[in-house]
């Protein structure tokens, strides 16, 4: 495997910075790293492998010579610049929602459907799924292969970092204000997030589900390559900085015991089982932060479905939920197809 000219678009954001860190930590074969962001970040320098790399302005034509481009710059910017990057010869791995449901663009979680990377040849673009979807489908994949999942009911407890740095700052500022008996200011979220839970992520749609909830419905079916799976999601923003947690209940076509599920999950790449409730051992967001794996626990027989399981799933939303998954896609790309 050779070395490649790699670009990160949206390099100064929380996920963009995590992408740079992940490229370094995983020793991705980078020959040259280019960093792009908006005009206000012009001239800023970010560290990569002990060197300072200057941030350039994201604009048409800036991807000449780039072979792999990691995008973390929002849907509208991706729609504008991803085709330009692909036309310049780069393969784009996009973290926004802009391309996920395009039938010509593969939607990839490497532990689940790595073969789908081959679809990059259609448009030169690969979509990185939504953070909450990624961490759910990783542990569900071996269970689906064994027992075929029919239905998924999921409630998420999503960290403020999923809404960006300003959202994390708002949680910090509101917490300080409340502890000092001062009024809180709400700019990022419609209501107070400190010491509160908001059952509202992204906009509400005509069916009264949010866009985030429908992402989980649509993306799960595409990634699992099974459009018979039904998904009902309730997504909640909670006062946590990093780490999404999910309560997942599934119904399967055939019986699968909690013990068998634990066996399958313990042997599946990217999953760590932490399940010893008698000793208070189960996944925690604070322990998942900074880790690459998806943590699963509280695995138990569901009391509603005849063939059902319930579980608790936790992961770092900035890493496996975004930056790491994108870099893992790039690893499959250069290893198998470039």
What are the catalytic residues?
131, 244
The SS3 call for residue 29 is coil
Exposure of 313 in the CB half-sphere (CA atoms within 13 A) = 31
Task: Give the integer Cα–Cα distance in Å for 251 and 221.
Answer: 15
Task: Give the integer Cα–Cα distance in Å for 28 and 218.
Answer: 31
Its sign, for the CA torsion 281, 283, 287, 293, is positive
Q: Which residues pair with 151 in a beta bridge?
A: 230, 251
The SS3 call for residue 111 is coil
Task: Give the integer Cα–Cα distance in Å for 14 and 35.
Answer: 14
Using alpha carbons only, what angle is made at residue 281 by residues 136 and 318, rounded to the nearest 5 degrees? Answer: 40
The SS3 call for residue 237 is strand
* Cβ pair 63, 88 in contact under 8 A: yes
Task: Give the integer Cα–Cα distance in Å for 46 and 10.
Answer: 12
Residue whose pair of structure tokens reads 């569901």 in the numeric block? 302
Structure token pair of residue 250: 């599934």
Sequence-distant (≥ 6) Cβ neighbours of residue 329 within 8 angstroms: 93, 108, 110, 117, 126, 128
Q: Helical H runs in 225-316? A: 258-266, 285-288
Write the DSSP string, 6-72. EEEETTTSHHHHHHHHHHHHTT--EEEEEEEE-GGGTT-EEEETTEEEEEEE--TTTTTT-SEEEE-
Residue among 134, 129, 121 at smallest CA distance from 101: 129
Task: Give the integer Cα–Cα distance in Å for 89 and 66.
Answer: 7
């Amino acid at each position: 495997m050779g070395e490649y000219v790699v670009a990160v678009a949206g390099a100064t954001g929380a996920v963009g910075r995590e992408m740079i860190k992940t490229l370094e930590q995983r020793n991705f074969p980078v020959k040259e790293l280019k960093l792009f962001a908006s005009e206000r970040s012009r001239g800023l320098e970010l560290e990569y492998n002990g060197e300072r790399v200057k941030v350039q302005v994201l604009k048409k034509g800036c991807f000449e010579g780039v072979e792999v481009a990691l995008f973390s710059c929002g849907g509208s910017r991706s729609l504008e610049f991803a085709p330009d990057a692909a036309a310049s010869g780069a393969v784009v791995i996009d973290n926004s929602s802009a391309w996920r449901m395009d039938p010509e663009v593969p939607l990839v979680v490497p532990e689940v459907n790595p073969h789908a990377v081959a679809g990059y040849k259609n448009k030169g673009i690969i979509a990185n799924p939504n953070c909450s979807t990624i961490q759910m489908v990783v542990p569900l994949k071996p269970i689906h292969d064994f027992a075929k999942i029919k239905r998924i009911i999921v409630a998420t407890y999503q960290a403020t970092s999923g809404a960006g740095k300003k959202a994390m700052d708002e949680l910090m500022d509101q917490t300080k204000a409340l502890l000092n008996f001062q009024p809180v200011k709400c700019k990022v979220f419609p209501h107070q997030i400190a010491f509160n839970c908001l059952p509202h992520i992204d906009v509400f749609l005509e069916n009264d589900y949010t866009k985030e909830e429908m992402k989980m419905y649509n993306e799960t079916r595409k990634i699992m390559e099974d459009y018979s799976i039904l998904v009902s999601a309730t997504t909640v923003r909670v006062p946590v900085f990093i780490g999404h947690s999910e309560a997942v209940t599934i119904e399967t076509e055939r019986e699968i015991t909690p013990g068998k599920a634990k066996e399958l999950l313990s042997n599946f790449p990217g999953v760590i089982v932490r399940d010893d409730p008698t000793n208070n051992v189960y996944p925690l967001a604070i322990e998942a932060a900074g880790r690459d794996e998806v943590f699963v626990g509280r695995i138990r027989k569901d009391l509603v479905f005849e063939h059902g399981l319930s579980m608790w799933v936790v992961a770092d939303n900035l890493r496996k939920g975004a930056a790491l998954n994108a870099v893992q896609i790039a690893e499959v790309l250069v290893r198998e197809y470039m």
